[in-house]
Amino acid sequence: MKAKLRGHHLICLNFFRGEGYSEEFIRNIYSVIGKEKVEIVVGPDDVCARCPYLEDNKCANSDYTDEKILLQDREALRLLRFKPGEIVDWKIISAKLPGILDEWKALFCLDCGYLEVCFNE
């Protein structure tokens, strides 16, 4: 079984600590990260599918904009050197994290509401 994930979730889900927007959203994430393989997609993915902020196939979270989320996806794939359509596994993703995390954090984490959850900051 494989999960379909957008670019920034390949990074952010490594820091999942059981927190999220609703019980259903959190339960779904446990199921997503339990799948062995990941197919990289553009736009809403298996996490967004159970998110209360997905509206008309766009991210309507007031903390972000759909454009910013799409930019995060592109930058995540640039840093990880993956392309949409590729199928990867979590081991490959997590092996790449140490080499890209400083840049990712500087780009997107410092003003993210999950900064404390992910980095205890």
* Candidate list 69, 77, 80, 93; residue touching ligand SF4; CB under 6 A: 69
Applying CB under 6 A, the site for ligand SF4 has a residue count of: 8
Q: Sheet holding 37-40: strands in order across?
A: 2-5, 37-40, 87-89
* Candidate list 3, 59, 76, 93; residue touching ligand SF4; CB under 6 A: 59
Beta-carbon-side half-sphere exposure of residue 101 (alpha carbons within 13 Å): 13
Number of other residues whose CB lies within 10 A of the CB of residue 8: 22
Minimal distance, residue 20 CB to ligand SF4, in Å = 8
* Candidate list 26, 35, 43, 53; residue touching ligand SF4; CB under 6 A: 53
Report the alpha-carbon distance of residue 108 to residue 63 in Å, rounded: 12
Question: Which residues of the chain form contacts with ligand SF4 (CB under 6 A)?
Answer: 47-48, 51, 53-54, 59, 61, 69
